[in-house]
Structures are given as structure tokens and as C-alpha cells.
Chains A and B, each alone.
Chain A
Amino acid sequence: MSKPEFVYVTYIETTPEKLWEALTKSEFSERYWWGTKILSNWKVGSPFALEWRGTVTDTGVIVETDPPRRLSYTWSNASEEFRNERPSRVTFVLEPYGKLVKLTLTHEDFEQDSKMLQGVSKGWPAIMSSLKSMLESGQALDVPLAALKIEGVE
């Protein structure tokens, strides 16, 4: 079995329940994810979608759900640029330690030399940092897209 291509670990002063809500409800994701809605009923086998300004940008299927500990879904970008790439897989693992939750995000199963991997590797740190700030201070970050330094994105 190959290793996950992308792993991001962050420690957040919150509860697993609050973090789970932030990961699964649009009212929160819109605040920390540049206005992106997360759409699903979060049942295994159900569709998953990201929607930005009324357009579905990414789709997938719920693979695993064990609230508030573990969530996994497949991920395909809807744009022309990534059409030929197979779905990758995102997994969140939430582990409480006292007043903290250790959140481990893995994003794996990309094509060889995947362009998607390059993009998500720059996107997730901004999204996860904003999520952490929102849960700890009540204020999400407004990370300028230019800071990500993704080719073609300003």
C-alpha cells in the first residue's frame, strides 16, 4: 500500500463535536474556506460536493463516516484541467487530547505527477489554518489566493 501523498496535522483548541460540525456544515465552511459550501448528507455512499458562488467545483462520494472521529470522501475537481485525473481521497481523523483535538488530514491516491496534488498541497494549509483560527478565536482567516502561489491563481 502506498503512502498518502499529502498529510497535514494541526492541533486545535476545540471539541471533536465542534470540529466535526465545522468540517460538515456549510454555515462554517463558508467562513473558513473562501465562501465554499460543503454539501452532503454525510452517509456512506452519498454524494459530496463543494460549491463556490453557485457553481459546483468538486464532487465525490462519502466513503467513511464515524462522527466525531473519522470522515473520508473521494474528491474530483470538475474543471476541464483536471478532468482526466481519477478521484483522490480525503480523510480527516479527529483525536481529542484534553482541551485539544489533533486533526490529521490525509489526501491520497493521486495520479502520477498529478496537477491536483500540487494545487491541494497549497490549498489545504490555508484552509486548515483558517479553520483553526475560526474555532479558536471566532474569526476565520481571509487568506489572499495570491499567498498560495498556485500557478495561474492570483
Chain B
Amino acid sequence: MDISQFKPAIVYTIYIASTPEKVWQALTAA
């Protein structure tokens, strides 16, 4: 299945003053 032209109804993007490591931790740590 070619999804290169697929357009989702909603894409939500946010830019955060952080590091990938800290965001990852926030997403995965209890």
C-alpha cells in the first residue's frame, strides 16, 4: 500500500523547548 500521498484528516504538531531524551522520558515514564 502506497501511503506517500495519503493525507490524514488531522495532524497535530507542537514544538517544545526540550531534548528528545526528556520528551521520550515524559512519554514513557510513569
| A interface residues with partner B (beta carbon < 8 Å) | 8, 10, 121-122, 125-126, 129-130, 133, 137, 139, 141, 143, 147
Contact = CB atoms under 8 A, between A and B. Distances in A.
B28 interface: no
Contacts of B13: 122, 125-126
Contacts, number: 21
Contacts of A137: 17
Nearest to A6: B10
Q: Is the contact region of chain B dominated by helix, strand, or loop, or is it mixed? A: loop
Contacts of A147: 15
A40 to B, nearest CB: 26
10 contacts: A10-B14, A122-B13, A125-B12, A125-B13, A125-B14, A126-B13, A126-B15, A129-B15, A139-B17, A141-B15
B16 interface: yes
Contacts of B14: 10, 125, 129
Contacts of A122: 13
A129 to B, nearest CB: 4
A143 B13 CA distance: 13
Interface string B2-22: 000000000111111100000
Nearest to A128: B14
